[in-house]
Structure 1
Amino acid sequence: MATDYKFQGWLGYSPESVKGQMKWDNFEPKKWTENDVDIKITHSGICGSDLHTLASGWGETKYPCCVGHEIVGIVVRAGKNVKGIQVGDRVGVGAQARSCLLPSCLDCSTGRENYCQSGRVDTYNAVYPDGEGNSYGGYSDYNRTDYRFVVKIPDGIPSEYAAPMLCAGVTMYAPLRNNGCGPGKTVGIVGVGGLGHFGVLFAKAMGADKVIGISRKASKRDEVLALGADKYVATDDDQDWIKENQRSIDLIISTVSSEKMPLSGYLSLLKVGGDLIQVGAPDGGNLPPVNAFTLIASRIKIGGSLIGSPGDIREMLQLAADKKIKPWVETRPLSDANQAVVDMEAGKARYRYVLVNGKHAGASKI
């Protein structure tokens, strides 16, 4: 089936692309299969993962690379095998585009496709099996993805809100849900930025008794409290922050991606039996060393969490629609992607940039 649209986007050709040197160019999407949908992109969030990938921070990137895995748009083509999605639907794609989906896979068969190790394909900078080609992301006009990793966006969520939820939102929602966030719990969110601000919003929406925002600088205090946090801790500026908050938190979600973070200090904030779940991924993957007695003395645990499954995303979006969650986003034109990436790297986003494709934005149908 011939199409009258081209796959074009902002491509990084080297680690220098993260410095505002992406180039608008054509790319060849994955080979079409009858399980696929083509999406006319209207919105694409900018994620910290995009910057790490453009810079080859998590290993050598497969250049040319089009990043962006917080994609919202309108379906313009659907394969014969596609179920539950049709041309004209407003849909989203998160950080994952494929898994093995085999009944024998312990992860895929139990709704944990995001942990599949045998057939996982990321939305960008990955290679599909069986010669289907490379994956390309959302800083572009169109995206092609297997329908089983495409989710419908509830009517109550504006596209500029939905886009960053598809990665940042679910990256925080999943560990909160999986680790008991709810009534009776005190939850700490370490690193209140693009990821962390979703942690505050979702922890409150899930009914946590108390939510504590934890970041380095006191300058964020008013913003974090305005998001709904009950308390704010500035680890660089608040003297005795460890002593004053010791053993006060049931669950901490850490978004910090630095091997120099005060991890032992964070752990000291946990109650006996508390958990710290790491979602931030430093370049190189290294965390600060932890003394075994820190864990033993308080029966605390360190764990991790990776994005979320398609089922997690659907569940999160419904909660966001029901609770009318409003992330803090700033829209930027897709044509301004290079400058937006530079500004994101400089920490100017409050708290998430969303690229708007001026050619497609406002479209409610094909």
Structure 2
Amino acid sequence: APLMCAGAIGYRALKLTKLKNGDPIGLTGFGGSAHLVLPMIQHLYPDSSVFVFARDAASRQFALDLGAKWAGPTESIAPTPLQAIIDTTPAWKPVVCALENLRPGGRLIINAIRKEADDQQELLSLNYHKHLWMERQIQSVANITHFDISEFLQIAAKIPLRPTVKLFPLQDANKAICDLKFKPTRGANVLVVK
């Protein structure tokens, strides 16, 4: 399940960055999708360093364990300006923080079906010169195409890409969802139907 959803949409987001080998890239949030995108970056762009921004120390350590060059809290400034950042969070604060880490001409790709309204006021802190000037770009991911899935599955087989999952019985679906929102999650939560 994580490959066909989080992995495939993560691949689409990676394509939209228009990354070139050697360009530094960031990931905001490090859960179901980002933990699959990191090995894709390492495979497709071996000279690109990956910088991870995550709210909790366990997620940051997981990113480092998988080969990220650096990991810090969401509000951090990366050691180097980034050419692209993929945001996989449900919140707005990471979007504003990510824009501060883009180099001129950099691209922020928002890989989320929706954003919560809880911290929408963070958008009021946008400053044109600090966050957008110098042709920084923001783009959302809408859907994946059949071609994206075909490409992704070939890449996943070559790596080989192995998602980290925590299994939950279907009757614990609410717990799995609450854990995603409120607890550090290593990889993806998966519901098992028996």
- Flag whether TM exceeds 0.5 (same fold): yes
User: How far apart are 1:349 and its partner, in Å?
Assistant: 3.3
Secondary structure of the equivalent of 1:288? helix
Distance change in 2, residues 1:342/1:277 (3 Å): closer
Give the corresponding residue for 1:226.
65
Is the 2:28–2:94 Cα contact (8 Å) retained in structure 1?
no
Distance 1:340 1:218 in 2: 20
Is the 1:167–1:307 Cα contact (8 Å) retained in structure 2?
no
Deviations 1:25-51 (A, max 9, x none): xxxxxxxxxxxxxxxxxxxxxxxxxxx
TM-score, normalised to structure 2, is 0.83
Secondary structure of the equivalent of 2:59? helix
Distance 1:224 1:306 in 2: 25
Give the corresponding residue for 1:343.
179
Q: Percent identity?
A: 29
**Pair 1:197 & 2:35 matched:** yes
Distance change in 2, residues 1:310/1:348 (3 Å): same
* Greater Cα shift, 281-290 or 312-321: 281-290
Is the 1:200–1:213 Cα contact (8 Å) retained in structure 2?
no
Deviations 1:312-357 (A, max 9, x none): 1121111101110111112233354344334334335322122233
Say which of 270, 273, 284 aligns to 2:105: 273
Say which of 45, 49, 74 aligns to 1:235: 74
**Pair 1:254 & 2:124 matched:** no
The letter for the 1-side match of 2:110 is: Q
Q: How does 1:70-149 map to 2 (within 5 A)?
A: none
Deviations 1:153-200 (A, max 9, x none): xxxxxxxxxx11222112211021132234122110011112222222
Distance change in 2, residues 1:335/1:203 (3 Å): same
Distance 2:181 2:68 in 1: 25
Give the corresponding residue for 1:181.
19
Secondary structure of the equivalent of 1:276? strand
Is the 1:182–1:203 Cα contact (8 Å) retained in structure 2?
no
Is the 1:182–1:206 Cα contact (8 Å) retained in structure 2?
no
Secondary structure of the equivalent of 2:90? coil
Instruction: Tell me the number of residue pairs that the alignment of Structure 1 and Structure 2 aligns.
Output: 189
Distance change in 2, residues 1:185/1:230 (3 Å): same
Distance 1:304 1:179 in 2: 11
The letter for the 2-side match of 1:179 is: T
User: How far apart are 1:284 and its partner, in Å?
Assistant: 4.7
Structure having greater relative contact order (Cα 8 Å, sep ≥ 6): 2
Distance 2:164 2:155 in 1: 17
Distance change in 2, residues 1:258/1:321 (3 Å): same
**Pair 1:306 & 2:142 matched:** yes
Deviations 1:195-234 (A, max 9, x none): 2222222222222511111112334332111122121122
Distance change in 2, residues 1:270/1:345 (3 Å): closer
Structure 2 gaps of 5+ residues are: none
Is the 1:213–1:233 Cα contact (8 Å) retained in structure 2?
yes
Distance 1:214 1:181 in 2: 18
Distance 1:196 1:226 in 2: 13
Secondary structure of the equivalent of 2:68? coil
Distance 1:315 1:308 in 2: 11
Distance 2:186 2:15 in 1: 25
**Pair 1:170 & 2:4 matched:** no
TM-score, normalised to structure 1, is 0.47
Distance 1:165 1:357 in 2: 18
* Greater Cα shift, 294-303 or 307-316: 294-303
Structure 1 gaps of 5+ residues are: 1-162, 359-366
The letter for the 2-side match of 1:326 is: R
Is the 1:188–1:249 Cα contact (8 Å) retained in structure 2?
yes
Q: CA RMSD in A?
A: 2.5
Is the 1:171–1:308 Cα contact (8 Å) retained in structure 2?
yes
Is the 1:181–1:203 Cα contact (8 Å) retained in structure 2?
no
Distance 2:159 2:107 in 1: 26
Distance change in 2, residues 1:216/1:186 (3 Å): same
